[in-house]
């Protein structure tokens, strides 16, 4: 199918790429707010995750594995971009903490998530939120309409990512070069933790407010993403189980 795209249409697909992200997830299941769920080995919760292939992109390879005594998802990306995603439905007042873990084999030396042509990452945790689209800029409205025309899915109102960055400091917020509706919080930086499991606990509401300058809406989707399409490189990583805890 992708071979028949015109050069212009192919360019539009590459620009859309990760803009669609975790939108349109209504049929993919849900997480349990107070307990572990997600890609945690062959179980009922694992079956609710969907491998979503981005139009015009080579997909990454996801597998359930047991490694270092942990249940995990292994992902191998060779000039590829796709995601493992799941629907959730948390009201803003229920947003609490997110616990997750990952391990990377190596970083992507040429990656720079602030530059359109180098926006790749060895690991990402992606959260999609609903909100008032009337507040969007005309550009973001156009991008969402284009995403819906190409993929059948709207761009989420806001997308928050947790990422491992080559050089930027932990805590820095990186704006997506294509739209301000995607922002990335650096939770790991540099090579010191490469080859080791890294565990995190994040306050979703606090991170969203710091990244976007407004309170979050409903959390409607989560995804795991390792992408190497822009830098035409390769990466291998592992993701542990994902756990949400509701706000007290």
pLDDT reading at 179 higher than 90:
no
Q: Tens of pLDDT along 124-148?
A: 999 999 999 998 889 888 888 888 8
Whether the Cβ atoms of residue 199 and residue 33 lie closer than 8 Å to each other: no
Q: Supply the DSSP symbol for 58.
A: P
Report residue 182 as tokens: 């995607």
Distance CA 16, CA 130 (A): 19
The rounded Cα 166 to chain-centroid distance in angstroms is 17
Q: Which residues contact 121 (CB under 8 A, 6 or more apart)?
A: 108, 111, 113, 163, 164, 165, 225, 226, 227
Distance CA 37, CA 140 (A): 32
Q: How confident is the model at residue 116 (pLDDT cuts 50, 70, 90)?
A: confident
Distance CA 37, CA 242 (A): 6
pTM of the complete model? 0.83
- In this prediction, residues 204-223 reach a mean pLDDT of 96
Q: Tens of pLDDT along 56-77?
A: 899 999 999 999 999 999 999 9
pLDDT reading at 9 higher than 70:
no
- In this prediction, residues 5-23 reach a mean pLDDT of 42
Closest CA to 110 of 29, 50, 166: 166
Report residue 33 as tokens: 């707010």
**Lowest mean per-residue pLDDT among 37-41, 124-128, 147-151, 152-156:** 37-41
Distance CA 82, CA 228 (A): 10
Q: Where are the domains of the chain?
A: 2-245
In this structure, which CATH number among 2.60.120, 1.10.3470, 2.70.98, 2.50.20 belongs to the domain 2-245?
2.60.120
């Amino acid at each position: 199918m992708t071979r028949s795209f015109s050069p212009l249409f192919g360019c539009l697909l590459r620009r859309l790429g990760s803009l669609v992200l975790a939108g349109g997830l209504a049929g993919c299941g849900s997480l349990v707010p107070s307990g572990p769920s997600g890609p945690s080995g062959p179980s009922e919760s694992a079956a609710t995750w969907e491998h979503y292939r981005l139009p015009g992109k080579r997909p990454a390879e996801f597998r359930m594995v047991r490694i270092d005594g942990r249940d995990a998802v292994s992902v191998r990306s060779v000039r590829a971009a796709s995601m493992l995603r799941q629907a959730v439905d948390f009201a803003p007042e229920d947003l609490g903490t997110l616990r997750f873990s990952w391990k990377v084999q190596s970083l992507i030396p040429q990656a720079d998530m602030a530059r359109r042509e180098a926006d790749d990452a060895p690991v990402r945790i992606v959260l999609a939120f609903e909100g008032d689209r009337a507040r969007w800029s005309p550009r973001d409205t156009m991008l969402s309409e284009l995403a819906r025309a190409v993929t059948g899915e709207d761009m989420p109102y806001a997308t928050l990512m947790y990422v491992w960055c080559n050089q930027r400091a932990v805590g820095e917020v990186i704006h997506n070069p294509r739209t301000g509706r995607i922002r990335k919080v650096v939770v790991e930086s540099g090579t010191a933790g490469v080859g080791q499991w890294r565990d995190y606990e994040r306050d979703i509401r606090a991170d969203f407010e710091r990244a976007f300058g407004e309170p979050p809406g409903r959390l409607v989707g989560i995804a795991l993403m390792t992408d190497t399409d822009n830098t035409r490189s390769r990466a291998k990583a592992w993701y542990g189980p994902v756990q949400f805890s509701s706000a007290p």
